[in-house]
Amino acid sequence: MGCGASTMEMDERYYEQKRINDAIEKSLKSHQKVERSQLKMILLGAGESGKSTVLKQLRLLHKDGFQYQERLQYAQIIWVDAVQSMKLLMIHARRLHIPLKCDEPDSPFSQAKKLILRYRCLDVGTIGDESFLKDYVMKYSDGGESRRKRMGTGQADALWDRNLEQSERLLGDSAETELENQELEELKESRPTGDFAARKQQRQQLANAIQLLWAHDPGIQQCYNRAHEFQLEASTRYYFENIQKFADPDYICSDTDILKGRIKTTGITETDFNIGSTRLKVLDAGGQRSERRKWIHCFEDITAVVFVLAVSEFNQTLFEDERVNRVHEAILLFESLCNSRWFVDTPFILFLNKIDLLEEKLQQTNFKEYFPDYPGDVHNVDSVVTYLERTFLSVNRTSKPVYVHRTCATDTQSMEFVLNATTDILLQNHLKKSGLI
Ligand SMILES: Nc1nc2c(ncn2[C@@H]2O[C@H](COP(=O)(O)OP(=O)(O)OP(=O)(O)O)[C@@H](O)[C@H]2O)c(=O)[nH]1
Ligand SMILES: [Mg+2]
């Protein structure tokens, strides 16, 4: 009778089905676990390479963009950076023996020069909390300049950890600090009651002066073309070309302005994103030398490293050490990170950033002067970038993949594509590691 055989068959089929169901359930559970688990991506690279700008693009793409307060703060920062940049161009023109039209007496140009040089950058009306104001004073007070450089090397930081007062005496900084403290107090006091109409008028005159010198003093343009010989903000041209809107004390920054604006990162910031069902934490680390000692504290459990290189900076030196070429420094930094024990099998994504500025620069600069073994056409952007890409990939002594993207971090449209590709890589690698694909 077939009854016994059919029971056995049914048992077998039942157990087979159960095995399959169990396997599917297990796979589903681990899939859910992976989806719920948080991926961690860290942005690394030298100072000013564009890490925070990449983070800003991620915020535009996957979060609610920028807050009102932030837009006000950037308006203030950009205005002051614009005036400061024009001052720097005048000062360095003199050092580089570039004749300036504004040095000729009794002309509208010399009036404009006086107005700009006399302007106290610590303008009333600054918005922000205590720590923002302190950074602001540090950045723009006359005494802050030398101290900022020393802090960039980490020298001042180390001493400050031990004893602030003693270190200031050692560094001969007490006068500078006193000046900064005084300026901070003045700034706080003047905040609510500044004469708004007078300030608005003063800013308008300054904006006109900057516009005049930028457009009609050939010496200023000549000096700007030699800006790689000193330290000038990367977005200076943008600030000058839009100076009238930044002069308005009521101006609220657009997304593009914020992408162009610069606030140096100190420490490491963490931002959480939800991308589909995946949670992604992005760490943005300050890139100047003094900041790098903090990096190691967050190297654990990193899903991927995004290393940002500013390819346009091949003829510039570090802010914190003007004897060191920025791209040479970045190669050494990339080599040590890529081969570090922390990231043995952590995928790296290399952003060859500031491609737009490289294009501009190669029209008038000989790349071979800075990289003598470069074999290609010195004005060919593609060839130069390929050379830099090969140089970076050649220092990877591990078997892990290094994915490469050419980027312009300030361009939202192209960054959307790059960032989607980047998060895909992250997810794929994570699934692979978890044995799910
Ligand atoms: N034109 C252009 N400017 C860029 C690009 N990427 C960044 N910048 C500008 O470069 C400046 C520095 O960028 P940040 O993102 O602050 O640099 P960072 O790497 O975070 O610098 P640290 O915080 O000091 O480590 C900003 O003014 C940006 O607007 C780019 O691809 N093209
Ligand atoms: Mg930054």
Model confidence at 157: pLDDT above 50: no
- What whole-number distance in Å separates Cα of residue 378 and Cα of residue 372? 11
State whether the beta carbon of 358 lies less than 6 angstroms from ligand 1.
no
Task: Ligand 1, residue 285: give the atom nearest the CA.
Answer: 25
For ligand 1, pick from 42, 53, 359 the residue to mutate: most ligand atoms within 8 Å of CB.
53
| C-alpha 234 to ligand 2 mean position (Å) | 13
Q: Say whether 288 counts as a known binding-site residue.
A: yes
365 is in an annotated binding site: no
Domain holding 346, by residue range, is: 40-66+265-433
Residue 336 lies in a domain: yes
396 to each of 180, 316, 402, how far by Cα in Å? 45, 24, 8
Least confident of 24-28, 220-224, 339-343: 24-28
pLDDT band at 18 (very low <50, low <70, confident <90, very high): confident
Residue that is last in its domain, among 260, 290, 325: 260
Percent of the chain topping pLDDT 90: 66
Nearest atom in ligand 1 to the alpha carbon of residue 260 is: 29
259 Cβ below 6 A of ligand 1: yes
Q: Is 353 annotated as a binding residue?
A: yes
Q: 242 with 320, same domain?
A: no
The count of residues in the chain is 437
Query: Are both 94 and 208 inside the same structural domain?
Result: yes
Domain boundary among 194, 226, 260: 260
- Same structural domain, 199 and 248: yes
Residue of the CA atom closest to atom 8 of ligand 1: 50
Direct distance between the N- and C-terminal alpha carbons of the chain, in angstroms, rounded to an integer: 47
The pairing of strands 304-310 and 38-44 is parallel
> What gap in Å lies between CA 309 and CA 349, rounded to an integer?
11
Of 226, 260, 294, the last residue of a domain is: 260
Residues 398 and 339 placed together within one structural domain of the fold? yes
Nearest CA owner, ligand 1 atom 21 = 48
Query: Would residue 27 count as lying in a domain?
Result: no
My answer on whether 269 and 247 are in the same domain is no
Return d(Cα 58, Cα 285) in angstroms, integer: 15
Does residue 271 sit in the same domain as residue 220? Answer: no
**For the segment 73-97, what is each residue's pLDDT rounded down to a tens digit?**
999 999 999 999 999 999 999 999 9
Assess whether 240 and 330 both reside in one domain.
Answer: no
For the Cβ of 287 lying below 6 angstroms from any atom of ligand 1, the answer is yes
What is the CA(394)–ligand 1 centre distance, in A? 25
How far is Cα 401 from Cα 404, in angstroms, rounded to an integer? 10
The ligand placed nearest to the CA atom of residue 286 is: 1
Report pTM.
Answer: 0.82
Q: Note the pLDDT of residue 139.
A: 61
Read off the pLDDT of residues 117-135 as tens digits, 9 standing for 90 and up. Answer: 988 765 545 555 555 555 6
pLDDT at 186 over 60: no
For 61-97, letters b (16+ CB in 10 Å) and e give bbeeebeeebbbbbbbbbbbbbbbbbbbbbebbeeee
Q: Burial of 22 by CB count in 10 Å (0-12 exposed, 13-18 middle, 19+ buried)?
A: exposed
Tell me: do 84 and 170 sit in the same domain: yes
Closest-CA residue to 239 (of 260, 253, 264): 260
Distance CA(121)–CA(202), nearest Å, equals 12
Domain count, the chain: 2
